[in-house]
Amino acid sequence: MAKKDTSKTNVTARAAAKLEQSTCRFCGRKPEVVRVLTPSGKTQMFRKCCASAGIAA
């Protein structure tokens, strides 16, 4: 029984970890990252989620 309880806890922890992964660690929103190509040909990541949250990228 104890073993079963542990596995149930793991499932809950995994679900929590998955949920944490699907949120931006800067603004806490759903991650919206777009790749922007700079004039110099460099690819830059731009966080739309943070921008809409008011956090400067």
Residues that bind Zn ion (CB under 5 A): 24, 26-27, 47, 49-50
Nearer to Zn ion by Cβ, of 16 and 53: the residue is 53
Torsions phi, psi for 44 (to 5 deg): -120, 140
State in angstroms the smallest separation of the CB of 14 from Zn ion.
23
Gap between the Cα atoms of 54 and 36, Å rounded: 19
State in angstroms the smallest separation of the CB of 11 from Zn ion.
27
State in angstroms the smallest separation of the CB of 18 from Zn ion.
17
